[in-house]
Structures are given as structure tokens and as C-alpha cells.
Amino acid sequence: MDPQASNELSRRERQIMDIVYRRNKATAAEVLDDLPDPPTYSAVRAALRLLEEKGLLAHEMDGKRYVYLPTTPRKQARTTALKHLVRTFFNGSPEQVVNALLEESRPSGEELDRLASLIEQARRQEGER
């Protein structure tokens, strides 16, 4: 997925992409069912076509139905989105991201232990470089 294209999506296009990623693939009817404040069926089909033209979705046939799939693997899209989020809202600082998450989500003791373990693992890897 072109990172620039994903940054230029409308709110509705982003919602549709989220649905397709969450479902792994989806028909226009499934997207319509999952959309908040859904538009018409034809508006969803038009948005899906536009996302396909932008190269973000592809389709395959299931009988007479189009089934839409993301063109970029979920992990790659997640990495691109996360980098954009960190750069845009946290000045590129992982520390600021973690601080915001800790303030907002109030993790349990078990989650904090797992986070500490991940930090220790990152320290070991840094020492190996």
C-alpha cells in the first residue's frame, strides 16, 4: 500500500478499509452492515471501486458477488500506520507513545509485567548490535 495514498483517505474510506482488514475480505453488503451511520449500498460500492482504483483493494469473484481484499498485508499496513502515527502525533518518540498509552489505558499488573519484559528484551537486542 502506498503510504501516501493511505494518508489521503476520507473518513469513510478509512472506515471501509478498517472493516476489510478486520474481516480479511468483505462484500459491499458486509461493509454496509459494519459501517456506522451507513450510506446507501450504491455509495458503498462506489467507495469500494474508488479504493480499488487507488490500489488499496482488489476483488475476486464469488459467484456474482465481488469480494474485496486489501492489497497490502495487515502487518505491513499496521507498520506503516504506526510509523505515521508516531511521527505525526508523538514527534517520532516511542517514549511519548508508551507514556500516552499508560495514561489512557491504565494497564493491569500483568500487562505492565509483559511490557517490562518487552523492554528488557529490546535492551538485550540493543546490546547485541
Domain covering 3-70 in this structure, CATH number: 1.10.10.10
How confident is the prediction for the chain on average, in pLDDT? 91
Q: Which residue has the cell 483493494?
A: 57
Could you give the CA distance from residue 66 to residue 98 in angstroms, rounded to a whole number?
40
**Backbone dihedral region for residue 92 (phi beyond 0: left; psi -120 to 50: alpha; all else: beta):** left
Residue extents of the structural domains in the chain = 3-70, 93-129
Could you give the CA distance from residue 44 to residue 13 in angstroms, rounded to a whole number?
9
Around Cβ 47, how many Cβ atoms within 10 Å? Answer: 22
Give CA separation, 64 vs 33, 43, 47, 56, 59, in Å: 19, 19, 19, 22, 12
Q: Between these two residues, 81 and 3, which has the higher pLDDT value?
A: 81
Per-residue pLDDT tens over the stretch 14-67: 999 999 999 999 999 999 999 999 999 999 999 999 999 999 999 999 999 999
Q: Does the pTM exceed 0.85?
A: no
pLDDT over 70, % of the chain: 95
